[in-house]
Amino acid sequence: MRIATWNVNSVTARLPRLLSWLESSGTDVLCLQELKCAPEAFPTEPLRELGYESAVVATGRWNGVALVSRVGLEDVVLGLPGGPGYPQDEQEPRAVSATCGPARVWSVYVPNGREVDHAHYAYKLRWLTALRDAVTEDAQGLLPFAVLGDFNIAPADADVWDRSVFDGMTHVTEAERAALAALRETGLEDVVPRPLKYDHPFTYWDYRELGFPKNRGMRIDLVYANAPFQKAVKDAYVDREERRGKGASDHAPVVVDLDLDLPHE
């Protein structure tokens, strides 16, 4: 079974690449973030023609998430249970979860935080607390379970190209990393820090100032999984090739291969 996560930075702008990548990669379940489309504009039909079902949470603005699966899509939960709203009570579309074949999967798009003294930063920390509370039961369960997505946090200094560049900025603060640690304490572990092709398996590179050619990146797209999921992992990697060329997202897909039995058709 192959599960992946990808911040596509507009699913409509990236649609040809998305469809091509799904066909060539053999991905069974894909977690998408930053859809930037209204629900009715999501490419449900083109994905269905490839054999994928979709669960979508979107409003047409800059966020939005989806789960795309060709191995089943059951017990779908749209949104983050108990999650905070921003700027007031209305929740942003930042989480969707479902059982996809033998695994329970979340696709999440953690708030950016903007600046440390901004209200969005406090919202980010509240959102992460709500995420921890919402996943605790599944994290400690027997079913393979993982939370995948754009966390907008680099877990360690090695996950950014130059730590000094980020002094005083979000994505690397102690409070954000403590929130990630609290999430792991529910029974989840980071899947991807294992021997990979590249010394620094970044997942995001800014479009500006030749960020990708110079490998000035960050590892902020993460896969946090419980013990049954971890035991099934055969390989994990960042598909850097999908970040290359015209029309690429500023994020690369993160792919995990698992030794799990898929449901029979």
pLDDT tens digits for 66-112?
999 999 999 999 999 999 999 888 899 999 999 999 999 999 999 99
Q: Higher-confidence residue: 198 or 55? A: 55
pLDDT tens per residue, range 126-180: 999 999 999 999 999 999 999 999 999 999 999 999 999 999 999 999 999 999 9
The whole-number pLDDT of residue 68 equals: 98
CB 220 within 8 A of CB 110: no
CA distance 231 to 103: 13
Q: Higher-confidence residue: 16 or 193? A: 16
The whole-number pLDDT of residue 200 equals: 63
Q: Is the dihedral of CA 228, 18, 59, 120 positive or negative?
A: positive
pLDDT tens per residue, range 18-76: 999 999 999 999 999 999 999 999 999 999 999 999 999 999 878 999 999 999 999 99
For residue 240, give every residue at least 6 positions away whose Cβ sits within 8 Å of its Cβ, in sequence order, or none.
198, 252
Does residue 150 carry a catalytic annotation? Answer: yes
The whole-number pLDDT of residue 198 equals: 56
For residue 242, give every residue at least 6 positions away whose Cβ sits within 8 Å of its Cβ, in sequence order, or none.
6, 17, 21, 248, 249, 252, 253
The whole-number pLDDT of residue 197 equals: 52
Residue list, annotated binding site for Mg(2+): 7, 34, 150, 152, 250-251
CA distance 5 to 188: 17
Does residue 109 carry a catalytic annotation? Answer: yes
CA distance 152 to 169: 12
Question: CA separation (Å) from 212 to 16, 51, 79, 161, 217?
Answer: 21, 32, 32, 11, 7
pLDDT-derived band at 201 (thresholds 50, 70, 90) equals confident
User: Which residue is catalytic, options 221, 237, 251, 257?
Assistant: 251
Q: Indicate the pTM of the whole model.
A: 0.96
Residue list, annotated binding site: 7, 34, 150, 152, 250-251
Query: What is the CATH class of 2-258?
Result: alpha beta
User: DSSP class of residue 86?
Assistant: S
The whole-number pLDDT of residue 264 equals: 57
Q: What is the percent of the chain where pLDDT is above 90? A: 90
CB 3 within 8 A of CB 232: no
User: Which residue is catalytic, options 28, 138, 150, 159?
Assistant: 150
The whole-number pLDDT of residue 194 equals: 53
Does residue 237 carry a catalytic annotation? Answer: no
Of the listed ranges 18-27, 197-206, 225-234, 249-258, the one predicted with least confidence? 197-206
The whole-number pLDDT of residue 262 equals: 78
CA distance 181 to 128: 11
The whole-number pLDDT of residue 193 equals: 65
> For residue 23, what are its two tokens?
């066909």
User: Which residue is catalytic, options 52, 86, 109, 237?
Assistant: 109
User: Across the chain, what does the average pLDDT equal?
Assistant: 94
> For residue 54, what are its two tokens?
């979709």
Residue spans per domain, the chain: 2-258
Q: What own/partner pairs with CB < 8 Å and gap ≥ 24 does 136-141 have?
A: 136/186, 136/187, 138/104, 138/226, 139/186, 139/187, 139/188, 139/226, 140/186, 140/187, 140/226, 141/104, 141/226
The whole-number pLDDT of residue 89 equals: 83
CA distance 112 to 121: 7
The angle formed by the CA atoms of residues 235, 129 and 109, to the nearest 5 degrees, is: 50
In one letter, which amino acid is 205? W
- Give residue for tokens 């979860």: 97
> For residue 78, what are its two tokens?
């749209």
